[in-house]
Chains A and B, each alone.
Chain A
Amino acid sequence: MTSPYLNSALIDSIVGLVLVKAGDRSNVMTVSFFSEVAHHPTSLWVSIAKSTYTHSLIEETGKFSLVVLNQTQGKLALACGTSSGRDRDKCAGLDLYPGPEGHLFLNGALASTACSVRQAVPVGDHTLFIADILHADMESRKSHLRQLLLSDLQKI
């Protein structure tokens, strides 16, 4: 299994997961197109391919969680990034816990953030979701680890 992001990404970047819960449906997707927007208002952006299941769920709910993975979570990233949530429940095997306002957070990650979409901007084959950060959990026990990089995934 492979992902176009592994071969076509122009820049090495940190890897995370986007978790979305819409009613009784939930999904997780590996992302590397995300970053900070501003310190005031505290916000981030994540860019999601328009064709994905995650994209439709975010459009529906207007909220998501962004989880920053650590360097030991490469296999998890590959597992969540190489198949669609339309075909199977990718959240089933994950060590998730409830964040605020129905957001899903992941145990063992470097950080989990609860986000609310403020603006959606189409950019090429993706949509840039600009979102306010509502809450963040940091994992002290993993703070000695560095972030997972796209280049780490290429070595797996």
Chain B
Amino acid sequence: MQGICGILSSQGEDETALFVSATFAQVSLTPPLVVINPNRTYSIEPAISRTGRFAINVMPASSQEQIIRLMAARRRQPNRADVVGLVVSESEHRIPFVAGALQTLFCEVESSIDAGDRKLYVARILETRTAARVELPLLFSAVSGGPRRYVALQRGVRTVLARSGALDILKKSYHRLRPPAPPDIALNTYEEAGATESEIATIESYGLLDQSRRLSPPPKARPVTRSLGVCVVGTGWGSFHCNLLRQVNPAAKLFVCGRNPDKTARLAKSVKAEDFFLGLDQAVADPRVQALIVALPHDLHRTAAEQIAAAGKHALIEKPIATSLADADAMILAAKRAGTILMIAEDMHFRPAVTEAVKRIFAGEIGEPLYFFGHAAGVRRPRGWAAQAERMGGGVLMDMGVHYVRGLRLLMGEPESVLASRAMQIDTKISGEDNVQLIFSNSVGWEGHLILSWASARGHLPDIVIAGDKGTIHLWPGTSYIDLYPQDPPLIPRLLSMVRPYWLQEKLMRPQFGRVRISLPEKEASGYQAEVREFLAAVAEDREPASPAEDARRDLEIVLSAYEALANQRRVQVVQVKS
């Protein structure tokens, strides 16, 4: 029944709603009226119902790939036009329309008819625009079934099979082996694509759009060619930052700042620093220094940030932003008042694998993302200030939690509540917790499970898994690839699943047969370099960084909620973030 393929567009409450439709048609000549039947479980239907206006964008045959991508994109994905690269503009009728359509009909609803899981809208035409070029319209049969390879070959084989009658014979033979259910078109169509009122109510209860995600992976920063004076503060983890800076911007003038004269001089010499300072006072006062990278104990972040801002210098401060929200707010305020940049070093935000995974989720490759599993484990024995809960702000939950909370926020969205519990303490030499597990929830319908541990061995496990109804993505720390396990497995495992006896199938089958490994173009997999590059670019271009300090404050807020949940052994609501 489906014929010409087009896109219905209408203005939703928060964004333009788009829906691929092949079931629009004219319904009368005088007056000229059209009928559409948008799916009630997509955002297009409420958009049309709200505004009473929509456009039918009849797409050309050449737009096949883009339409397939739009159809494959996640149903509840906001801003679907951006995800598939469609250009949407608004007409003088205040109706959004898609660029590149063969024909666009701007319509106003005259009446609607309740008709089951779709709603019929009868509409009059306000205006019709037709493209000058002559091209066949796209047919639904060319886009149904998703992306295809060897299209011409498939079409040829199908033609031969159909014309020769072999298709009939094949069907009959198959039905002899597996007799089909008695023809019941109503039941079959319902089971394949239909929905009852109660099913629609269930779908709607989670929201037709998943608006829980507030963060986006950053765009690539432009390389900085200017020679900036950058001082790394702290001689422990600071040495790592010195090397990073050298890799990212060899032209930067590097300075080192520490408390211990011998250690600081040694580090300055080993990283070929221009000079070194003993104490932050000296570093911020030096006119050769424009920006500082701070790798100090967590409880010193606030003082350092305020001092740097007061001197009119820019700061990249190691995560977590602080150990309390009051400190974080004071730091943000100080930078705002001084008009300086305050960025928190959260490498998870810049990890190429996370960026790629977000892209794949948006594209609908795992369907609805339902579960996030984060597993940051590995035996570690923190000592010195890191072993003191007051200075660290806690234990592993504070130290590692902010990273994985950021991962959760990028990949799934903002959590609404958190539960926490923990296993026994192994490392009795630290006053903070050495392991914890958290369960995050959001009413849009996803759950996040996080295990953070310095006490348990990790093994060869992905550190993040996102599981959806159409597939699973595995992320590995420090790798330049991600693994996608589609729900519909590739040909080899599909064939092997038919092998009998089972012991032989087990011998032949390998887990990697069901995997699609996606290589990332970036050489640096950790995100550390990209994070420093972004900071330097923000300083050089005098702009806000891609991930401002407020993002890190929110990470801290969520982690502190998890601490509250752990202390009180109850689910804690995480304060809602404003859009």
Contact = CB atoms under 8 A, between A and B. Distances in A.
Interface string A15-46: 00000000000000000111111111111110
Interface stretch (B193-201, B347-355, B426-434): B193-201
Contacts of B23: 35-36
A135 B185 CA distance: 6
A35 B58 contact: no
Interface residues of B, number: 55
A87 to B, nearest CB: 21
Interface stretch (A52-60, A75-83, A90-98, A120-128): A120-128
B248 interface: no
A104 B264 CA distance: 93
B183 interface: yes
B117 to A, nearest CB: 5
B31 A132 contact: no
A10 B185 contact: no
Contacts of A13: 3-4, 25-26
Contacts of B193: 39
A143 interface: yes
Contact of A10 (B125, B167, B168): B125
A132 B187 CA distance: 12
Interface string B127-140: 01000000011010
A49 to B, nearest CB: 8
A39 B37 CA distance: 11
Give the dominant DSSP class at A's interface.
strand
B218 to A, nearest CB: 41
A140 B113 CA distance: 34
Given A11-B24, A39-B117, A124 B33 contact: yes
Given A40-B196, A133-B185, A123 B28 contact: yes
Given A12-B4, A39-B116, A39-B195, A123 B125 contact: no
B30 A125 contact: yes
Contacts of A124: 27-33
Interface centre among A12, A35, A45 (most CB of B within 10 A): A35
Given A38-B115, A40-B196, A33 B25 contact: yes
Interface in B483-534: none
B1 A35 contact: yes
11 contacts: A4-B29, A11-B56, A12-B103, A37-B118, A40-B194, A45-B27, A45-B35, A47-B27, A47-B28, A123-B122, A128-B122
Interface of A: 4-5, 8-14, 32-45, 47, 49, 68, 111, 113, 119, 121, 123-126, 128, 130, 132-136, 140-144, 146-147, 149, 151
Please list the 8 inter-chain residue pairs (A to B) with the smallest Cβ-Cβ separation, ordered nearest first: A40-B194, A124-B28, A14-B3, A39-B194, A38-B116, A144-B159, A38-B118, A126-B28
